[in-house]
Each structure stands twice: as C-alpha cells, then as structure tokens.
Amino acid sequence: MPAGRCVLQLVAVSVAAAGWLSALAATLMSSWLTLSTELLPSESYQLGLWETCVVQDLGLLECRPYDGLLGLPPDIKLARVLMCGSLGTGLLAVLLAVPGLSLVNGCRGHAGRKTALRAAGGVLVLAAGVLGLVPASYVAHLTVLRFFDPSLPDLVPRWEFGDALFCGWTGGVLQLVAGALLLASCMRRCSGHAHRPPIAMTTRSHASRTEYV
C-alpha cells in the first residue's frame, strides 16, 4: 500500500475533525455579532445563537439566554437549525471515515467496503461544510445590509461581525477540504486498480507462450 495514500487519508480525517471542532465552537460561542456604543464605552454587547451577553471593560461577562423560540429573529432560528445539522452530519462523517482508513484493522480484506465508507464520509463532510457555511454567510450578509442601511440615522449603533462568524467560516472551509481529500483518496484507489492487469490473464498468457515453445 503506498504511504502517500495513507497520509492523504489521515490528513483528510484530521482536517474533518478540526473543522467539526471549529463548527462546535462557533455554535456555542456567544459572539456571532458584537455591538459597542459611544454612550457606554465601558460596555459592549454580544449576540449568539443561544444567549446575549454584556461585556465590561473589567472583563466581567454577563449572559442571559433567550426567553423562547417565538421571539427569536428568523436568521438566528435558521442558524440554530443549520449549525446543529452541520454538527450531526460532520460527526457521522468522521465516524464513517475512520473505519474506512487503510491503517485501521476493521474490514480487513474488504477494500471495497473501506472505499465505500471513506466515500460516504467524504460526501457527508462536504454536506456538513455547506451546512456550516450557509448560516454564517447569511448572518453576515444581513449584518452588512443593516450596517449600511441608509434609512437608519448615523447615531444608531450597528451590529458588527463577531469571532463566532470567522470560526464558523473556518470550520466550513476545513470540512469542504476534508471532503475533497476523502473523495480524492477513493478515486486514487479506483484508478490504481483500473490500470493494474489481472493476474489470471497474465498467468494464462505466460502459460500459452510456454506451450507454444
């Protein structure tokens, strides 16, 4: 087995795990959007998927969860659903891809099953990456529209990008890269088998040449 193929598989699973952890951090972080005002320079506000927080200059952080689902903005509701779907899909992708690694002893002697597991993990981690990028990009798009809204007075404070958005983008991109690497490892496996001549045909050709001589 080529060492490069094993390294490619290990890198793909590692990148998928890193992307899943980034998506988990983005989901749990309360800093999807941040807001600071000139009236209260000692305080800033953070908006997350599950709670809102007030940050003071002394480092004190006071958070309050949302009262209910009915009062949530539509973009926060959508981000909740898609980020939870991304976490579930990404975790399932890693659980499928690990047994499909060539270095794992499970399913030994069944190369086709290992390839199928890696392919399924690659497709799922691609889906997880898309599910993670959509809410972060959608919230960022709405934030930009609201920030440059000409109907609002200049004195009205506006929400800006928080660290959780960048964490969500990072996780989504890492998962897309991991899915592409997993699928590439499966395609390399298939192409390697396609160009290898069958052993039985080679043996028969040598036998026929010997009988002719």
Q: What is the pLDDT of residues 146-174, one digit of tens each?
A: 999 888 887 788 899 999 999 999 999 99
CATH of the domain at 108: 1.20.140.150
Flag whether 212 is in a domain: no
Tell me which residue has tokens 């976490």: 87
Say what the pLDDT of residue 110 is: 61
Flag whether 190 is in a domain: yes
Say what the pLDDT of residue 138 is: 96
Mean pLDDT of the chain: 84
Say what the pLDDT of residue 114 is: 86
Evaluate if residue 74 carries a pLDDT over 60.
yes
Flag whether 133 is in a domain: yes
Q: What string of H, E and C letters represents the secondary structure of the chain? A: CCHHHHHHHHHHHHHHHHHHHHHHHHHHCCCCEEEECCCCCCEEEEECCCEEEEEECCCCEEEEECCCCCCCCHHHHHHHHHHHHHHHHHHHHHHHHCCCCCCCCCCCCCHHHHHHHHHHHHHHHHHHHHHHHHHHHHHHHHHHHHHCCCCCCCCCCCCEECHHHHHHHHHHHHHHHHHHHHHHHHHHHHHHHHCCCCHHHHHHHHHHHHHHC
Say what the pLDDT of residue 151 is: 86
Residue with the bigger pLDDT between 4 and 77: it is 77
Q: What is the pLDDT of residues 170-197, one digit of tens each?
A: 999 999 999 999 999 888 544 444 344 4
Flag whether 170 is in a domain: yes
Q: How many domains does the chain have?
A: 1
* Model confidence band, residue 111 (pLDDT cutoffs 50, 70, 90): low
Say what the pLDDT of residue 43 is: 86
User: Which residues span the domain enclosing 135?
Assistant: 3-31+72-195
Say what the pLDDT of residue 95 is: 95
Query: Once rounded to an integer, what is the mean pLDDT over residues 115-142?
Result: 96
Say what the pLDDT of residue 132 is: 97
* Model confidence band, residue 208 (pLDDT cutoffs 50, 70, 90): very low
* Model confidence band, residue 107 (pLDDT cutoffs 50, 70, 90): low
Say what the pLDDT of residue 109 is: 56
Flag whether 106 is in a domain: yes
Flag whether 48 is in a domain: no
Say what the pLDDT of residue 98 is: 92
Query: For residue 13, what are the contacts with CB-CB under 8 A and spacing of at least 6?
Result: 94, 97, 98, 101, 178, 182
Flag whether 137 is in a domain: yes
CB contact at 8 A, 174 and 22:
yes
Distances (CA, A) of 152 to 110, 144, 147: 64, 13, 9
